[in-house]
Amino acid sequence: MVNLKAWKEVGGFDESLFIDAVDNDFCAALMRKGYFNYQINFVGFIQEIGHATKHHFIYKDVYTLNHSAFCRYYIARNNMLIARRYGAETNSVLRELMYRCREIIIIILFKKNKMAKLNNYFRGIIDGMTKNTVRRNYLKNLR
């Protein structure tokens, strides 16, 4: 549920984010304007994110969501954009970069289609750091 007055005050949703983190950006924009966000842990809607698989690595289980190369770009780009926009209100850029490095290691160790995913992930990080929100032609065939 969204307070429409608050939604209008922050300029609505950033449609340039496209696939990933639109809600995170909206919540950060609300907090910046002094609004509070409330979380309801279950409201009857289940969303499957990727296709989770479990991998055993040394002494620990690692779960991966197996997003497509297409989605990997937007995950990296949008989370970097949000870190740049809101800094301490969400994740700092440094913390976000560290998380992205962790994801790169997971892609290398456990994912299929590694090169396409890594290529898009790096492009997403770069575009997020440079605040580039133009949709890329090279993504159209990577679904």
Question: Per residue in 35-56, pLDDT tens?
Answer: 988 877 776 766 666 678 888 8
Task: List, in sequence order, every residue forming a beta bridge with 53; answer none if it has no partner.
Answer: 64
Q: Distance between CA 126 and CA 116 in Å, rounded?
A: 15
Q: Is the dihedral of CA 13, 19, 24, 29 positive or negative?
A: negative
Q: Distance between CA 71 and CA 113 in Å, rounded?
A: 13
Q: What is the mean pLDDT of each run of 10 residues along the chain (143 residues)?
A: 91 88 91 87 69 85 86 92 83 87 91 91 92 68 49
Instruction: Give the residue ranges of DSSP H helices in the chain.
Output: 4-9, 22-32, 69-86, 93-110, 114-129
